[in-house]
C-alpha cells in the first residue's frame, strides 16, 4: 500500500505538471472591442463576402455540372452515377452559419430557419420546371423538414427523391405560394461541388465531392482552365482513387494515380465541350504559384512531367476529335476496372 508521504509527493508532482502545462498553453485572445460604426461595417463586409461566395459557387456549379452531365456515360460504366435536379438549396440558422445568418437572411430576403434555393443550373431540370433562385422551399413531395435538429442536407435528399419519380416543391416566391413539379431529373456522375473559402490554391476530392478554394478559382479565371482542375478531381472520384485505411483515414495518392487522373480529367473536360488547346499550361501556372511542384514528390509527379504528359494526352484528344472518333479514355475508364 502506498504511504501517505509517497502519495502526497506524487500528487504534488502531478499538480506541478498540470500548472506548467497550463502556463505553457496560450489563452485565447478576446475579440477586439468594436465601435458602433465598425460593428455596422462588419455586417456590410459580411454581405459583400456572401455575395462573393455565391458568385464563386455559381461558377463552380456551372463548370462542374457540364462535366458531370457530359461524362455520365463513362461514370455509368463504373456504377458511379446519380440523379440531379440542377439546384442547390440551403437553410440559414445561427447554429450552422453563426455570424453569417443576419447577412444571409438580408441578402435573400428571408427569415432565419428558412430553406432557400441558392443555386440553379441554367437549363437544368429545376430551372426548366420554373424554380427560381431565392425561392423558399416549404415542402418537398409532401415532406416538411424539421430544422430544429441536426443539419439537413436538403439538396442531396431532393436528388435522392428524384430517383424515385417526379418531385413537387411547395414554394414561397416574394411571399406568394407557388407549386412546381419537376417531372424528371438528369443522370449525372456521382459527384457534387463545393467552394472552400480562403486564398490557398487547393482542390481535392473525397470520393463523393470535389472541393475548390477561392485561391485556385482566382488563379484560373478562365472556365476551360478551371475545367481541367475539376476534371482531374472528378476523375479521382470516378476511378475510385479515394480510399480509406482500416482506421478511416484517407490512403495517400500515388504518382501513377495522379497521372491517370490528369489524363482522364482532360478527356472529361474535352467531352464537356471545353477548349483544351492550352490545358497543359495549367501546370506551368501551378509551378509559378508554387515552385515546389516543379520537381514533385512521393505523392504527386513533378509539374514538369505533368505538363509533358498532358501535352501528349491533349494531342491524342485533338487527333481523335479531328478524325471524328469517340473520346473514350481507354484503357483507364472501362467497366470493372
**Strand order from edge to edge, sheet including 192-196:** 192-196, 209-213, 203-205
> 251 pLDDT band (50/70/90 cuts)?
confident
pLDDT at 300: 79
> 20 pLDDT band (50/70/90 cuts)?
very low
5 or 295, higher pLDDT: 295
**174 φ/ψ sector (left φ>0, alpha ψ -120 to 50, else beta):** left
Q: Which of 10-14, 57-61, 168-172, 314-318 has the lowest mean pLDDT?
A: 10-14
pLDDT at 25: 54
Query: Are 80 and 140 a contacting pair, CB within 8 Å?
Result: no
Distance (Å, rounded) from C-alpha 154 to C-alpha 169?
Answer: 12
pLDDT at 5: 43
Is the pLDDT assigned to residue 336 strictly greater than 50? no
State which H helix or E strand residue 263 sits in: helix 255-271
Distance (Å, rounded) from C-alpha 130 to C-alpha 53?
Answer: 24
Is the pLDDT assigned to residue 141 strictly greater than 70? yes
Place of cell 467552394: 195
Nearest residue to 220 (alpha-carbon basis) of 242, 248, 201: 201
Q: pLDDT per residue over 102-135, tens digit each?
A: 888 888 888 888 899 999 999 999 999 999 999 9
Retrieve residue 165's grid coordinates. 419519380
Q: pLDDT per residue over 192-246, tens digit each?
A: 999 999 999 999 999 999 999 999 999 999 999 999 999 999 999 999 998 888 7
pLDDT at 104: 86
Distance (Å, rounded) from C-alpha 317 to C-alpha 179?
Answer: 45
240 or 23, higher pLDDT: 240
Length of the chain: 337
**Which ranges in the chain belong to alpha helices (H)?**
4-24, 36-70, 72-77, 94-97, 101-108, 125-129, 154-162, 214-219, 223-238, 255-271, 282-289, 303-323
Nearest residue to 86 (alpha-carbon basis) of 120, 116, 128, 54: 120
pLDDT at 259: 92
pTM over 0.95: no
Other CB atoms within 10 Å distance of the CB of residue 150: 9
pLDDT at 6: 45
Other CB atoms within 10 Å distance of the CB of residue 215: 17
End-to-end CA separation in angstroms for the chain:
65
Domains of the chain, each with CATH number or no CATH: 81-187 (2.30.42.10), 190-323 (no CATH)
68 or 30, higher pLDDT: 68
**In b/e form, how buried is each residue of 251-269, taking b as 16+ CB within 10 angstroms?**
eebebebbbbbbbbbbbbb
Retrieve residue 93's grid coordinates. 440558422
pLDDT at 24: 54
- What average pLDDT does this structure show over 149-160? 80
> 252 pLDDT band (50/70/90 cuts)?
confident
Amino acid at each position: 500500500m502506498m504511504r501517505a508521504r509517497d502519495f502526497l509527493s506524487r500528487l504534488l508532482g502531478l499538480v506541478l505538471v498540470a500548472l506548467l502545462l497550463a502556463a505553457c498553453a496560450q489563452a485565447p485572445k478576446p475579440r477586439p472591442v468594436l465601435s458602433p460604426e465598425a460593428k455596422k461595417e462588419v455586417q456590410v463586409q459580411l454581405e459583400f463576402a456572401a455575395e462573393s461566395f455565391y458568385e464563386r459557387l455559381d461558377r463552380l456549379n456551372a463548370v462542374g455540372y457540364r462535366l458531370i452531365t457530359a461524362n455520365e456515360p463513362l461514370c455509368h460504366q463504373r456504377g458511379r452515377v446519380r440523379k440531379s435536379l440542377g439546384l442547390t438549396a440551403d437553410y440559414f440558422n445561427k447554429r450552422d452559419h453563426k455570424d453569417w445568418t443576419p447577412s444571409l437572411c438580408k441578402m435573400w430576403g428571408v427569415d432565419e430557419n428558412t430553406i432557400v434555393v441558392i443555386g440553379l443550373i441554367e437549363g437544368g431540370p429545376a430551372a426548366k420546371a420554373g424554380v427560381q433562385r431565392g425561392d423558399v422551399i416549404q415542402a418537398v413531395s409532401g415532406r416538411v423538414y424539421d430544422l430544429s435538429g441536426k443539419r439537413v442536407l436538403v439538396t442531396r435528399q431532393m436528388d435522392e427523391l428524384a430517383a424515385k419519380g417526379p418531385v413537387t416543391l411547395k414554394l414561397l416566391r416574394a411571399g406568394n405560394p407557388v407549386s412546381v413539379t419537376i417531372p424528371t431529373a438528369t443522370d449525372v456522375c456521382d459527384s457534387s461541388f463545393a467552394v472552400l473559402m480562403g486564398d490557398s490554391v487547393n482542390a481535392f476530392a473525397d470520393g463523393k465531392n470535389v472541393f475548390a478554394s477561392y485561391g485556385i478559382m482566382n488563379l484560373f479565371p478562365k472556365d476551360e482552365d478551371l475545367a481541367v482542375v475539376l476534371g482531374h478531381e472528378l476523375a479521382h472520384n470516378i476511378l475510385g482513387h479515394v480510399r480509406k485505411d482500416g482506421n478511416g483515414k484517407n490512403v495517400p495518392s500515388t504518382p501513377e494515380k495522379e497521372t491517370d487522373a490528369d489524363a482522364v480529367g482532360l478527356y472529361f473536360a474535352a467531352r464537356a465541350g471545353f477548349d483544351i488547346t492550352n490545358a497543359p499550361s495549367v501546370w506551368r501556372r501551378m509551378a509559378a504559384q508554387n515552385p515546389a511542384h516543379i520537381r514533385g514528390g512521393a505523392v504527386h509527379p513533378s509539374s514538369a512531367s505533368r505538363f509533358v504528359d498532358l501535352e501528349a494526352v491533349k494531342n491524342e484528344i485533338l487527333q481523335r476529335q479531328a478524325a471524328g472518333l469517340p473520346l473514350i479514355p481507354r484503357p483507364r475508364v472501362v467497366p470493372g476496372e
